[in-house]
Amino acid sequence: MKKKTEKMGNRVEAMDFVGKTIARNKMKPFDELTFSDSFLFGEAMMDETVCKDVLEIILGIEIAKVVILEKEKQESNIPEQKSIRMDIYVEDEENTVYNVEMQVEDKKDTPKRSRYYQGLLDSKLLPAGSKSYNLLNKSFVIFICHFDPFGEKRCCYTFEERCLENLNLPLGDGTQKIFLSTVGENKEELSPVLVEFLEYLKNPRNIKIKSEKIANLNNRVEQIKIDAKVRSRYMTLKEWLDDMVEKEMEEWTAAAEEAIRTEGHEEGKRESEVGTLRKLYQKGFDATETADILDLDKTYVSIIYELLQKYPEREDGQIARMYLQKIENMQVKK
């Protein structure tokens, strides 16, 4: 009876997951996009003036000039290491580096995510053969969150390394991590323009804009939304993806139900996912784009892509089993 109950619980959990995945993967209509949506955020922040204004609002400082080094930059030290997608990777005239991320969904990993971003960022900043670590750039890792990452109802959390025995003694490593929260409550401690920025992120259509910088940001967003080329690019992706998601999720639902009735639940789930990933791979989407579209772990997608590239003739089930074996071997090595 206990095993039967557990199987039923697994079935309900899996079907709930499929339903939520369908809803999450259905892309918004273009006209409903706001600055908080990944697509529009990336487009708007590629404008160096807008990017400069946003950084100045968040940091409360003046920046002479910024240079967009790369949008949606993917970094990894080692081929099998987890890669990261940097939404906006920026440098100013003083060689300070800024990584700005929009986080809409709370995946309960924000602190560790910021640590990983910082590590990979640093590994790329020190030129090969450098004899001094003092050449490392000053850097900011900035997360704009639509949730409270630390549960203290603050609008802004700023972290830097300090000595626990003397909190007035900074480590001086030149790094700082900033987490904004649109659901924070201590707005009286913030600058008026930062308060307005957070309100704009939450209610862009229902806010009376006062700040020139936010007005400029909103104007850029509106310009992007009437750009026929941008709209066409988004709509082409949306129409194709929405159709594919509906079809693939129907197949995934059937596969999930069948898999739950057997001991091969994990393998069955992976096999169905591989079929979806194969179609995106064949369409030319890279691992980072695919992971973002389907809201899957980027390391997982990267490994599947590597297997598809190396063994294009293998069936989905074979690729799924090879992936599970690879993960098992990695865990044994640890």
pLDDT score at 107: 86
Taking only the tens place, the pLDDT of each residue in 6-53 is 444 444 454 454 455 454 556 788 889 999 988 899 889 989 999 999
pLDDT score at 296: 84
What is the rounded CA–CA span in Å between residue 33 and residue 31?
A: 6
Q: Where are the domains of the chain?
A: 2-28+229-333, 33-226
Taking only the tens place, the pLDDT of each residue in 309-333 is 999 889 988 998 888 888 877 765 5
121 touches 97 (CB < 8 A): yes
**Token representation of residue 43:** 């487009």
End-to-end CA distance of the chain: 36
Task: Output helix, strand, coil percentages for the chain, rounded to the nearest 5.
Answer: 55, 15, 30
What is the rounded CA–CA span in Å between residue 254 and residue 251?
A: 5
pLDDT score at 52: 94
pLDDT score at 8: 44
pLDDT score at 175: 95
Q: Is the dihedral of CA 243, 249, 250, 252 positive or negative?
A: positive
**Token representation of residue 175:** 């790094």
283 touches 308 (CB < 8 A): no
pLDDT score at 2: 41
Contacts (Cβ under 8 Å, ≥6 apart) of 86: 70, 72, 73, 74, 75, 99, 101, 117, 121
Name the amino acid, one letter, at 287: A
Q: For the chain, list residues with pLDDT below 70.
A: 1-26, 70-88, 245, 248-250, 252-269, 331-334
Phi-psi region of 262 (alpha: psi -120 to 50; beta: other; left: phi over 0): beta
